[in-house]
Amino acid sequence: MKIVLHGRKVVGGVVAGEAIVTKDTISGWGGINAQTGTVIERRHELVGQSFADKILVFPGAKGSSGWSLYFHQARLAGAAPRGMIFVKMTTKVALGAVVTRVPAVTDLDQDPLAVIATGDWVEIDADHGIVAVTKRPTGDDPPPADLAHQDHP
């Protein structure tokens, strides 16, 4: 099932990848390891997980203005997210998205934290403000149509 969200471009570009989602804001300074893209903030729900090469879906930034520096360093280390989707626009997260140089969107018509789950496949067309989400299969999903009607021994 594909869900399409519409929002506003922060940084242009088109990208697709696996989502990593958090309902916690992210701190750059002291919150991430810029060399690996791993969240290191001890009380964060993603502690120990890396956003490197994934679509990072999060509420926004917290902490000091050093936030953008850590995401810039993650880009230089090859550990940046592939794209960003965030809820709350601030100068901190906007600058972070710009220096990370990845497609980024905000102000979506549906709450991305409610629609997108970790592991979903997400396509961002930031130039047009479009996010397409393909839900990952779960154990509760029905079998594909071509298998549902076959006779099995």
**Mind telling me the catalytic residues?**
64
Q: How far apart are CA 128 and CA 14, in angstroms?
A: 9
SS3 of the chain: CEEEEECEEEECCEEEEEEEECCCCEECCCCEECCCCEECCCCCCCCCCECCCCEEEECCEECCCCHHHHHHHHHHCCCCCCEEEECCCCHHHHHHHHHHCCCEEECCCCCHHHHCCCCCEEEEECCCCEEEEECCCCCCCCCCHHHHCCCCC
Q: How far apart are CA 150 and CA 103, in angstroms?
A: 42
